[in-house]
């Protein structure tokens, strides 16, 4: 008697539910291991892309808030945050290596799946790549004279933003950097939980909009914001014919950018991303169980 053939069982439909936090932690660890193992050339190239992507979000935010002095402060900051979100969306969805997001590699390091040298190598290559991409974008925008659009309102806004950043105190810059990257890494964390592109975008926007609206400090964004203003400042005819900040422009120098902003903000970003998010979630979900 011949056996009765049974119809093939259809494959189980792929789940569209978001990953649970413990699954996100495992994914973050796996992603960190993959990032740390990437070749130096690819790491640097993707770092350049991320710097350019963040710069695109930054100039978007600068443009939409230019000439908005009559707008309520909170509304202006919200618009800046929503538009700046473009930067991290491009990094996560299109694919690039961002120093602040890569602070989560500390989870794989804590599990001893990534060596200290591999961790620091990734951070260094990505950081330099981010700076290169941001500065290259500044150069292209200056060639395009985009800062003169809106009767110079974009250039005025760029200088106003940067002037505020270079006049922060060291401890203030560190604290603002820590809060910023806690939110950036939480945005990446939420994106890891998503299964579709739309979900990733929706997950990224609220934390990024929140950090920009609150005035927190992002080291890679500042690699664009401050050099852009510094180079606009060299256009003496533009500066003479447009409204400049009443105070603080004396600190708008390359030295103040590096020593009074970029270094303390970077330290704060590492505290916020690696410690406040990465280390805490590793402790909760991934630390070895005691027997």
Residue pLDDT, tens place only, 193-225? 999 999 999 999 999 999 999 999 999 999 999
Please check whether residue 123 lies inside any domain of the structure: yes
Largest separation between any pair of C-alpha atoms in the chain: 98
Length of the chain: 291
Q: Please choose, from the candidates 180, 169, 192, 285, the residue with its C-alpha nearest in 3D space to the C-alpha of residue 222.
A: 180
Q: For the chain, what is the mean pLDDT? A: 93
4 pLDDT band (50/70/90 cuts)?
Answer: low
Please check whether residue 14 lies inside any domain of the structure: no
Structure tokens at 226: 């401050």
In this prediction, residue 244 carries a pLDDT of 85
Mean pLDDT, residues 116-145 taken together: 98
Determine the structural domain holding residue 234 and report its residue range.
21-286
| Position with higher pLDDT, 68 vs 184 | 184
Cβ 267 vs Cβ 180: under 8 Å = no
Q: How many whole angstroms separate alpha carbon 7 and alpha carbon 2?
A: 15
Q: Please determine, for residue 285, whether its predicted confidence score (pLDDT) is greater than 70.
A: yes
Please check whether residue 119 lies inside any domain of the structure: yes
For 98, the 3-state DSSP assignment is coil
Cβ 277 vs Cβ 192: under 8 Å = no
Q: Please choose, from the candidates 150, 148, 189, the residue with its C-alpha nearest in 3D space to the C-alpha of residue 21.
A: 189
What would the DSSP string read from start to end of 206-248?
A: HHHHHHHHHT---HHHHHHHHHHHHHHHT-HHHHHHS---SS-
Angle at 265 between CA 264 and CA 268, to 5 degrees: 90
Please check whether residue 169 lies inside any domain of the structure: yes
1 pLDDT band (50/70/90 cuts)?
Answer: very low
CB within 8 A of 169, min separation 6: which ones? none
Please check whether residue 181 lies inside any domain of the structure: yes
Please check whether residue 242 lies inside any domain of the structure: yes
Please check whether residue 15 lies inside any domain of the structure: no
In this prediction, residue 5 carries a pLDDT of 52
Please check whether residue 5 lies inside any domain of the structure: no
Torsion angle of C-alpha atoms 178, 184, 186, 191, degrees rounded to 10: -170
Q: What is the CATH number of the domain that holds 120?
A: 1.20.1080.10
Q: Please choose, from the candidates 25, 151, 163, 180, the residue with its C-alpha nearest in 3D space to the C-alpha of residue 87.
A: 180
The proportion of the chain whose per-residue pLDDT surpasses 90, expressed as a percent, equals 87
Domain count, the chain: 1
In this prediction, residue 291 carries a pLDDT of 58
Cβ 24 vs Cβ 195: under 8 Å = no
As a whole number of Å, the CA-based R_g of the chain is 22
């Amino acid at each position: 008697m011949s056996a009765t053939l049974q119809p093939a069982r259809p494959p189980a439909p792929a789940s569209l539910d978001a990953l649970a936090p413990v699954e996100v932690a495992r994914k973050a660890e796996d992603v960190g291991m993959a990032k740390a193992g990437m070749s130096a050339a690819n790491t640097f190239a993707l770092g350049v892309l991320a710097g350019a992507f963040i710069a695109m979000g930054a100039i978007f935010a600068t443009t939409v808030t230019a000439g908005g002095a009559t707008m309520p402060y909170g509304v202006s900051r919200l618009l800046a945050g929503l538009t700046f979100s473009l930067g991290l969306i491009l990094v996560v969805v299109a694919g690039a290596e961002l120093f602040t997001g890569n602070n989560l590699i500390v989870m794989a390091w804590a599990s001893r799946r990534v060596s200290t040298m591999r961790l620091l190598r990734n951070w260094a290559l990505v950081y330099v790549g981010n700076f290169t991409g941001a500065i290259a974008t500044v150069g292209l925008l200056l060639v395009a004279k985009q800062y003169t659009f809106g009767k110079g309102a974009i250039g005025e806004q760029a200088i106003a933003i940067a002037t505020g950043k270079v006049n922060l105190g060291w401890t203030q810059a560190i604290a603002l950097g820590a809060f910023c990257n806690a939110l950036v890494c939480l945005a990446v964390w939420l994106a890891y939980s998503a299964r579709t592109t739309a979900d990733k975008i929706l997950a990224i926007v609220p934390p990024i909009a929140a950090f920009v609206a609150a005035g927190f400090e992002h080291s890679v964004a500042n690699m664009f914001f401050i050099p852009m203003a510094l180079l606009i400042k060299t256009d003496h005819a533009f500066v003479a014919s447009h409204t400049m900040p009443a105070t603080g422009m004396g600190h708008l120098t390359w030295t103040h950018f590096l020593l009074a902003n970029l270094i303390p903000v970077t330290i704060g970003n590492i505290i916020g991303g690696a410690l406040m998010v990465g280390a805490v979630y590793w402790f909760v979900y991934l630390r070895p169980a005691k027997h």
